[in-house]
Amino acid sequence: MQATALIAEDEPLLAAHLQAELQRLWPELRVVATVGDGASAVRESLALGPDIVFLDIRMPGMNGLDAAQALAEDWPDGATAGAPPLIVFVTAYDEYAVRAFERAALDYVLKPVQTERLARTCERLQAALARRGAGPDKLEPLVEQLRGLLGIANEGAAPGTEPLRMIQASAGNTITMIPVDDVLYFESADKYVRVVTTEREHLIRLSLRDLLQRLDAQAFWQIHRGTVVRAQAIASASRDEAGKLTLRLHGHEARLVVSRLYADRFKGM
């Protein structure tokens, strides 16, 4: 079967080994790019449109899970857009991660890559490519799989742990105490997170992923890979003609876009 692939792996020797094994097991597969970080994987995948993307979980900057999420959110809609790539995660052995991938029906291979296991992955990929469609719902399989995986990864504060109640935002010699109940939304901003209230904005040096692990998942909803909103701050949700979902907040002019991964939160009762 003629198909194309992109490999995202920050260790060149492992990337070369994976490519060599793929060439031996699946000679017709053409590797169109090899990159060493998640941001490059997203950029090159959007530009080249490979059928398959092998994503290392741990890469500098944007990790493999974040890259997969970005691909699902940023992949173009419309009849002329091709189907999104099939995702295969490449990971060192981690029982929790493996269970998560299996529950989400996303394929994975373990490091160091074993020939027999990779052969099974290639067979699954070939079967999936043969049966996948290119209709209006071409994104749905990937979106549903990632929802399952993200639902495991973003469970909020650990059981028995008190959720975060106060944000400490430092600016110069001043530390501002912000009750989390005053926060409208959090937004990623490079190495910081913007903390937005009705009165002003603050910056905290913390990743959004780490912050999510400390928030009450019932009170704060992730709506995009870079945005988390306090549920009670949402005034309304509306869709435009293209199906894009936008939130309006109480007491603030911001309009927050909901990615397709999280749009299922907003269904009429």
DSSP label of 167: E
Do 178 and 195 contact (CB within 8 A), yes or no? yes
Q: Tokens 């394929």 — which residue? A: 107
Q: Are 25 and 118 in contact (CB under 8 A)?
A: yes
Task: Quote the pLDDT of residue 156.
Answer: 56
What is the predicted pLDDT for the residue at 22?
97
Q: What are phi and psi of 58, to 5 degrees?
A: -105, 105
Domains and CATH numbers, the chain: 3-153 (3.40.50.2300), 166-265 (2.40.50.1020)
Q: pLDDT tens track of the chain, all 269 residues? A: 689 999 999 999 999 999 999 999 999 999 999 999 999 999 999 999 999 999 998 898 888 888 999 998 999 876 556 788 999 999 886 776 777 787 676 788 988 899 999 999 999 999 989 887 555 567 788 888 888 777 645 555 556 678 999 999 998 899 999 999 999 999 998 789 999 999 999 999 988 988 998 999 899 999 999 999 999 999 999 998 877 899 999 999 999 999 988 988 887 65
pTM for the predicted model, two decimal places: 0.82
d(CA 250, CA 232): 9
Residue partners of 201: CB distance under 8 A and separation at least 6: 194, 195
* pLDDT at residue 80, as a whole number: 57
